[in-house]
Amino acid sequence: MTQQAPSPPTDPLGSPMWQAHARTLFENNPVRFEPALKLSMPQIAEDQHRFPVALDARGLGEVKRMVIFADLNPIPLAADYHPLGAAPYLAIRIKLDQRTPVRGAVQLVDGSWLVNGAWVDAAGGGCSAPPVSRVRGDWAQHLGEIRGGAWPGEHGAARLRFTIRHPMDTGFVANIPTYNLETLNISCAGKLLGTIEIWAAMAEDPAFTLMPVAVPRDRLDITARDTNGRDYTAAVTVPAS
């Protein structure tokens, strides 16, 4: 006899979408709300097109997956990160289409999920207004430009930050179909350190902050692909100090 899947725990935020998202994302794995999972956001959504979120699971055990999502966004999931050879830290910028819970969740090696989140008040339209570069008309001129750097970090992990010029079209703006970065890999000397699946809920010109395991003089390779099959590559060397 098959055991019935356990229901996700009651949502402290009282979100109407919690049960549906929890079942989809976490399937039948145990889920618990964990205040020690550090989800950091500004106290105000000054710009609903570009709301910064940082998820930090360092010190909570080995993490195999990290997700950042907003319950009431039409595209709830923004990023799904596997930190294969990286400290469990992910900072990105997302769109907010209305007032919504914003959450971070991490999956431990035993399969269980830890979740934290908060309601964020936001003006409407973060997902349904055209990207600034579309309005300006110069998105194609700068498509795929990657800027960034690496910095020495703590406990054997470096700090890697980069931004990729991309319109990240949601498909909700008239006559502009969905067009977004969808996968991104970080590697060092051929060894995969992390993979991220990306949705158009990430802000235009997405920015990433990661902590891959690397020492000074290591070269970190970034490769990404968008929904048109276009590839993007970049590399940065970890400095000595």
Partner 1 sequence: MIVSRRGVLGGIAATIPAAAIGAALAYPFAPVAIADGVWMVAGSDEPIQRGNGGAIANITIIATPAGTVLVDSGPSLRYGEALKTVAEQLTGRKVIRVYITHLHPDHAMGLGAFPREIVAALPGTIADIEHNGQGFSDAMYRLLDDWMRGTDLALPGLPIRTDHEAFGGRNLRLMALSGHSSADLAILDEQTGTLIGGDLLFHRRAPATPTADLARWRESLAVLDRLAHKGAVPGHGPFDSSGREAIAQTRDWIGWLDSALNDAVRSGLDMVEAGEMPIPAPLAVMAAGRYELQRSVSHFYPALEGKLLPRIDQ
> Does residue 41 touch partner 1 according to CB under 8 A?
yes
> Does residue 53 touch partner 1 according to CB under 8 A?
yes
> d(Cα 178, Cα 140) in Å, to the nearest integer?
15
> Does residue 141 touch partner 1 according to CB under 8 A?
no
Stretch that binds partner 1, among 73-81, 119-127, 169-177, 181-189 (CB under 8 A): 119-127
Residues 6+ apart with CB under 8 A from 38: 54, 55, 56, 57, 116
> Does residue 159 touch partner 1 according to CB under 8 A?
yes
Nearer to partner 1, 62 or 151 (CB): 151
Show the site string, 188-227: x = touches partner 1 by CB under 8 A, - = not: -----------------x-x-x------------x-----
Nearer to partner 1, 70 or 222 (CB): 222
Show the site string, 85-104: x = touches partner 1 by CB under 8 A, - = not: ------x-x-------x---
User: Sign of dihedral through CA atoms 190, 152, 166, 171?
Assistant: positive
Stretch that binds partner 1, among 122-130, 168-176, 177-185, 186-194 (CB under 8 A): 122-130
CB of 234 to partner 1, least distance (A): 4
> Does residue 54 touch partner 1 according to CB under 8 A?
yes
> Does residue 118 touch partner 1 according to CB under 8 A?
yes
> Does residue 122 touch partner 1 according to CB under 8 A?
yes
- Which of 147, 215, 216, 230 touches partner 1 (CB under 8 A)? 147
> Does residue 146 touch partner 1 according to CB under 8 A?
yes
User: Could you tell me how many residues of this chain bind partner 1 (CB under 8 A)?
Assistant: 46
Angle made by CA atoms 229, 73, 52, in degrees to the nearest 5: 80
Chain positions contacting partner 1, by CB under 8 A: 13-14, 40-48, 50, 52-54, 91, 93, 101, 118-124, 144-151, 159, 161-163, 205, 207, 209, 222, 232-236
